[in-house]
A and B are shown apart, each in its own frame.
Chain A
Amino acid sequence: MIEQPEPKSDVLAKRDAIVAGLRRLLPPTGVIAEAIRLKPYETDGLSAYRQVPLAVVLPETTEQVAEVMAFCHAQGVRVVPRGAGTSLSGGALPMADAVVLGLMRMNRILDIDYADRCAVVQAGVTNIGITQAVAQRQFFYAPDPSSQLACMIGGNVNMNSGGAHCLRYGVTANNLLGLKIVTVEGEILDIGGAYLDAAGYDWLGLLTGSEGQLAIVTEVTVRILRSPEGARAMLAAFTSNEIAGACVDSIIGSGIIPVALEFMDRPAIHACEAFAHAGYPLDAEAMLIIEVEGSTTEQDDLLARIRDICTQHNPISLEVAKTAEQSLAIWKGRKGAFGAVGRISPDYLCMDGTIPTSQLPAVLRRIGELSASYGLQVANIFHAGDGNLHPLIMFDANSAESFHKAEAFGADILKLCVEVGGCLTGEHGVGIEKRDLMGVQFTERELDQQRRIKSAFDPGWLLNANKVFPLTAALRA
């Protein structure tokens, strides 16, 4: 179990006064302090870790957030920001002495401007909610994490969320124009706006992906894009990971950047097929789902080019969707991957390293060896265009030994990712899960540089202090 910062005994001792103080700042339903009602906030998408917080606050305006922050700052109370609680890295895991600041009541879309192709939304608007709000005019918000039905834009900003279409449209950071933030002292600041490339330091870029370490995000100005005329997928299956990897290289090498390029290994294909009956080839070692965009004619042209490339790699199965319905069928298994693995094993860890795409066959071979030595099954799903690897490690949560083995297996995979030139996390964030692995990727000096930046924003380390950075002596004390 990962070590937590020592709770501040003075804060625990004045809990009632803190709760009373928070109640003076917020509407009656905006403060939660009863044990039974705190329970739902004890964990997030990384449910192996649990900690009931001191209290939960649910502000409805930026001004209320500012008052809560000013109060907590004055009282020396730690704060853990939370959106929908879908983090797979434990980004919203509470601390015993912390107030969880939930942004879910700030769920209004404040402005949509089609002419300038941007929208201003509060932090608690869901990712899909933005796209739904602009879909009537055939616009969309591009980053599409798997949790997009539930996850909130404030969380997306803090984790710099990705999705399956990053290769074409980039991640969250590439799709933002501005933020409204509240500092740890409770000051409200506008960062950027409805224009590109603000002068001065790139605060927008630094805050994006900062995992709640620097400030509270209450509003976001996002870019919205016109939807393409259409999109269609194809499926290609191969007899080895090496061949599928070579095929990916050939596609990119030909100058085609598909909007999605997903790779599944044999266990993933079998799990998804058993679950979704999508018609995946069960004799394949590796399978690609490739999606292109444009008019029907443009799709035909691109899919024909890609089919020719795939054919040169001796596929054992090649299926090009002719209609949107056939595309959906091809995607059906992949989109249900988590549910599919969940059916084989009730508990699994979804890892999230990134590797140079050329290293895929070697990395999958090594993961296979680790799987055998740990005695735990793993299925690999891979955003092949951008190198983001998601091994799903299956374990039994009723067995502490099985869980610890799964964690150790996951850590070995992430170390392997760094070793081959990649990184610990491509889109899920460091959170609590990978905090103690940061030393694998960074030197102590580099971590100290990052810590000093946090200190510039949050000198007292009150914001989400149990995450991202390996605990220092000061936090252990």
Chain B
Amino acid sequence: MMPVDEAGVVAAIQAATTPLRILGAGSKLPMLRPVQAPASLSTAGLTGITFYSPKELVLSARAGTKLADIVAATAAEGQHLIAEPPDWRRLLGTDSAGTLGGAVATNLSGPRRIAWGAMRDHVLGVRAINGSGEVIRSGGRVLKNVTGLDLCKLLSGSHGTLAVITEITLKVLPAPERRATLVFKGLAPNAAVAALSAALGSPYAVSAAAYLPAAEAARIPALAWLGDSVTLARLEDFAPSVTYRSDRLRADLAAFGAAEMLDDAASLSAWADIGDVLPLAGQGEALWRVSVRPSQGPTVLAAVQAALPTQAFLDWGGGLVWIAGPASPAAHNAVAAAARDAGGVWTLMRAPDTLREAVAVVPPEPPALARIGRHVKAAFDPRGVLNPGRIVAGV
């Protein structure tokens, strides 16, 4: 089903007697667990930007609006989506870059997340339909709002299991006038993360920080010429600031080597590819994301490399580890163990259905929290019709 208005979503949910698979354009379906449902409900028919006030930094759009359309609309006003939501067509083998609703429902953010927050941090308001077919609004169209429980955040990243988001209001910001990227060549992971930590701990507002081993860097056109592992720190601001800060940062980080510089165009291209996880597109049968404290990134990298044949790299200053490897329970357990041992969490991002159905795609919660989670699910969707089993089997 692909209703063209909110009333259609309400009707579809109210009429459902069996589970519904909830999706936008379906661009994130390879993530997490497959949903066994006789019918699908897509929000892709709910399209259009309904409100955009650049001077107030606020944009509203229906959930099915293509992310690309929103990116284009903000770019026309010299603004951008703060969390840099990625385009994972090549990574996940889907044919759409996705919808705004999908980007929010999965709370997936790009490289800027380390400095400027996740998708969920910029969701000012939502309209959503719960599992009983009721319209639920939370937040609004203002930048500061603490009225009632924050369902904007709860629904962001809930993968359509609590309610079907029909309209979203976002905070947007002016796009930077200029970008530049410092590149340190040939660092080992520990030194790389130390450099990124120093960069992120500098007063120069570094807006992205990543480390790619040589093989992974070679798959990014803007980085391949460097011919080695790369440690990258991005600056974005007014042009004079970027020039000034680049010079200062190069001097402050001289202990890590002489930094090469990527200019505005190369920075745009390189960071888009990093956010899109291009180095791991087409690599391995399974793909994981591990989130840890940044200094533990190299430990996770070493642990999975020792256990499996992998391709992997670090974003978010070392705190986000992307891993491609074989699709086996043993490989999954090795990734999960590496994440757990480093005090972090994992998400299975892509794998054959047999593996996705067999393993915990995210870490199991302690029993008391899992119980609260089941009660919260029931509080939204008492009949269990919305995307059951998407994150956790049976919920």
Inter-subunit contact A187/B368 (CB<8 Å):
yes
**Cα A199 to Cα B153 with chains together (Å):** 13
Query: Which residues does chain A contribute within 8 Å of B146, judged by CB atoms?
Result: 159-160, 162, 171, 209, 425-430
Query: Which residues does chain A contribute within 8 Å of B142, judged by CB atoms?
Result: 354-356, 386-387, 421-423, 426
Residue of B142, B150, B175 with most chain A CB atoms under a 10 A cut-off: B142
Inter-subunit contact A229/B203 (CB<8 Å):
yes
CB distance from B376 to the nearest CB of A (A): 5
User: Given the interface contacts A301-B240, A354-B145, A421-B141, does A449 sit within 8 Å of B136 by beta carbon?
Assistant: yes
Inter-subunit contact B291/A357 (CB<8 Å):
no
Query: Which residues does chain A contribute within 8 Å of B320, judged by CB atoms?
Result: 196
Is B391 in contact with chain A by the CB < 8 A criterion? Answer: yes
Query: Which residues does chain A contribute within 8 Å of B241, judged by CB atoms?
Result: 294, 298, 301
Within 8 A of B (CB), among A413-447: 421-430, 434, 438, 441-443, 445-447
Inter-subunit contact A228/B203 (CB<8 Å):
yes
Is A122 in contact with chain B by the CB < 8 A criterion? Answer: no
User: Given the interface contacts A173-B121, A388-B144, does A453 sit within 8 Å of B244 by beta carbon?
Assistant: no
Inter-subunit contact B373/A201 (CB<8 Å):
yes
**Cα A328 to Cα B113 with chains together (Å):** 33
Inter-subunit contact A196/B140 (CB<8 Å):
no
Q: Which residue of A lies closest to B392 (CB)?
A: A200
Inter-subunit contact B200/A200 (CB<8 Å):
no
Q: Which residue of A lies closest to B158 (CB)?
A: A201
How would you classify the secondary structure of chain A's contact residues: helix, strand, loop or mixed?
loop
Inter-subunit contact A430/B148 (CB<8 Å):
yes
Within 8 A of A (CB), among B132-170: 134-154, 156-158, 162
Query: Which residues does chain A contribute within 8 Å of B383, judged by CB atoms?
Result: none
User: Given the interface contacts A209-B150, A357-B56, A453-B379, does A197 sit within 8 Å of B141 by beta carbon?
Assistant: no
Is B369 in contact with chain A by the CB < 8 A criterion? Answer: yes
**Cα A162 to Cα B142 with chains together (Å):** 14
Query: Which residues does chain A contribute within 8 Å of B58, judged by CB atoms?
Result: 356
**Cα A256 to Cα B238 with chains together (Å):** 9
Within 8 A of A (CB), among B222-279: 238, 240-241, 244
Inter-subunit contact B144/A115 (CB<8 Å):
no
Query: Which residues does chain B contribute within 8 Å of A374, judged by CB atoms?
Result: none
Inter-subunit contact A450/B154 (CB<8 Å):
no
Is B313 in contact with chain A by the CB < 8 A criterion? Answer: no
**Cα A202 to Cα B362 with chains together (Å):** 13
Query: Which residues does chain B contribute within 8 Å of A71, judged by CB atoms?
Result: none
CB distance from B364 to the nearest CB of A (A): 9
Is B375 in contact with chain A by the CB < 8 A criterion? Answer: yes
Q: Which residue of A lies closest to B109 (CB)?
A: A197
**Cα A468 to Cα B174 with chains together (Å):** 35
Beta-carbon contacts of A233-259 to B below 8 Å, as 1s and 0s? 000000000000000010011011100
**Cα A210 to Cα B319 with chains together (Å):** 28
Query: Which residues does chain B contribute within 8 Å of A422, judged by CB atoms?
Result: 140, 142
Is B20 in contact with chain A by the CB < 8 A criterion? Answer: no
Query: Which residues does chain B contribute within 8 Å of A62, judged by CB atoms?
Result: none
Is A206 in contact with chain B by the CB < 8 A criterion? Answer: yes
User: Given the interface contacts A195-B345, A227-B203, A456-B378, does A358 sit within 8 Å of B144 by beta carbon?
Assistant: no
**Cα A422 to Cα B358 with chains together (Å):** 46
Query: Which residues does chain A contribute within 8 Å of B372, judged by CB atoms?
Result: 183, 456-457
Is A189 in contact with chain B by the CB < 8 A criterion? Answer: yes
- Seed contacts A226-B202, A442-B148, A452-B380; 4 additional CB < 8 Å A-B pairs: A201-B376, A387-B142, A430-B146, A446-B137
Between-chain CB contacts (< 8 Å), 13 pairs: A117-B200, A170-B121, A174-B121, A197-B291, A201-B158, A202-B120, A203-B369, A356-B141, A423-B142, A441-B140, A442-B137, A452-B379, A453-B149
Residues of B within 8 A of A (CB): 53-58, 78, 107, 109, 113-114, 117-118, 120-121, 130, 134-154, 156-158, 162, 173-175, 177, 194, 197, 200-203, 205, 238, 240-241, 244, 291-295, 316, 319-320, 343-347, 362-363, 365-366, 368-369, 372-373, 375-376, 378-380, 391-392
